[in-house]
């Protein structure tokens, strides 16, 4: 096998209460990439369509993640990478993670799978470091493992795949502004109160229990963020209104997707998720803000090969 064409899913990180530790992969939106094994050493980005992003290997998240993988194996050749971006950069649904995970997942396959999925997470995190200044794993882990994932520990890296309830759907709306993850991290406080901590880890535990027992009410009750959302939501137009109308339309819960500006809601069943999409769209239509909207079931496989 010399080349692979793949689908690299968008992801929702944080999932309200799990800043930097929880994430989920989506099915309805993602990038496409073609990775070719070549004789020449190193990584070259040979095509990049759909977004205005750097093609220099050291400035591109796929390039940097790929180099991290190459540094840990004795393969003498290199790889060429084509990236067809469908996920907008700075949208909050894991655009950089899709590119960095796609590169390392396909390279690993083409090399005969010398690395574990957790090792691939570690390489892809180098792409996140380039994109946001911090090597967080909450987008790259679900893209590589599929479904919901928990980063139980960063040092050592310990990723726990979590059950995905079969009727759970995500609705994501992206108001057409760009929020850089690096900027939306700078505004966060570095200390939290014990009182907020108690509420937050109660919700993380509740969400994990709800995902395993497929208790949709418990999932909804646990989608609360006492720490990050109150600060970041000020960067997102009409956040409170989008959230309240989504809940009125039947969503289980609603919050900021990753570092924003996208807003996500979870619903039980596609019908409610579509109603929530309409409610979200109405808010932005009324105030004249352009948007993209996605309704997606959970992608339990993560990155997958597609036909050329």
Residues that bind ligand HSE (CB under 6 A): 13-14, 19-20, 136, 138-139, 181, 185, 258-259
Euclidean distance between CA atoms 14 and 21, whole angstroms: 6
Shortest distance, position 274 Cβ to ligand HSE, whole Å: 25
Q: Which is nearer to ligand HSE, 32 or 138 (CB)?
A: 138
Catalytic residue among 101, 149, 171, 181: 181
CA distance 180 to 157: 25
Closest CA to 258 of 289, 236, 277: 236
Distance between CA 142 and CA 124 in Å, rounded? 12
From the CB of residue 112, how many other CB atoms can be counted at a distance below 10 Å?
8
Nearest residue to the partner ligand HSE, using Cβ = 258
Q: Which is nearer to ligand HSE, 60 or 96 (CB)?
A: 96
Hey, how many other C-beta atoms are within 10 angstroms of the C-beta on 10? 33
* Pairing of the two strands 148-153 and 263-268: unpaired
Catalytic entry in 128, 149, 171, 229 = 128
User: Shortest distance, CB of residue 107 to ligand HSE, whole angstroms?
Assistant: 23
CB 98 within 8 A of CB 53: no
Catalytic, 128? Answer yes
Q: Least Å distance between CB 80 and ligand HSE?
A: 27
Q: Which is nearer to ligand HSE, 185 or 199 (CB)?
A: 185
CA distance 264 to 44: 34
Q: Measured from the CB of residue 61, what is the shortest distance to ligand HSE in angstroms? A: 12
Active site residue 245: no
The continuous run of DSSP H or E covering 162 comes out as strand 158-162
Comparison of 11 and 117: residue with beta carbon closer to ligand HSE: 11
List, by residue number, the catalytic residues: 128, 181
């Amino acid at each position: 096998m010399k080349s692979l064409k793949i689908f690299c899913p968008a992801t929702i990180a944080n999932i309200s209460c799990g800043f930097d530790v929880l994430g989920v992969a989506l099915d309805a939106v993602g990038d496409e990439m073609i990775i070719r094994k070549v004789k020449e050493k190193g990584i070259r980005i040979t095509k990049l369509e759909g977004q205005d992003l750097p093609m220099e290997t050291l400035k591109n998240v796929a390039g940097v993640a790929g180099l991290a993988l190459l540094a840990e194996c004795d393969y003498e050749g290199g790889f060429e990478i084509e990236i067809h971006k469908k996920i907008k950069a700075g949208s909050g649904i894991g655009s950089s993670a899709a590119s960095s995970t796609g590169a390392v997942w396909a390279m690993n396959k083409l090399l005969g799978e010398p690395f574990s999925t957790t090792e691939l997470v570690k390489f892809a995190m180098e792409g996140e470091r380039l994109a946001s200044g911090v090597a967080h794993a909450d987008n790259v882990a679900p893209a590589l493992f599929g479904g919901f994932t928990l980063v139980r520990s960063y040092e050592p890296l310990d990723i726990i795949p979590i059950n995905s309830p079969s009727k759970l759907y995500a609705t994501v709306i992206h108001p057409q502004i760009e929020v850089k993850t690096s900027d939306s991290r700078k505004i966060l406080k570095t200390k939290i109160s014990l009182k907020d901590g108690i509420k937050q880890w109660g919700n993380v535990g509740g969400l994990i229990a709800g995902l395993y027992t497929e208790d949709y009410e418990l999932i909804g009750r646990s989608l609360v963020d006492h720490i990050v959302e109150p600060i970041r939501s000020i960067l997102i137009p009409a956040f409170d209104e989008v959230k309240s109308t989504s809940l009125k339309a039947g969503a289980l819960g609603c919050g900021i997707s990753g570092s924003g500006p996208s807003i996500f809601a979870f619903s039980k069943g596609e019908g409610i998720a579509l109603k929530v999409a309409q409610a979200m769209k109405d808010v932005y239509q009324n105030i004249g803000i352009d948007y993209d909207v996605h309704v997606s079931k959970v992608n339990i496989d993560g990155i997958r090969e597609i036909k050329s």
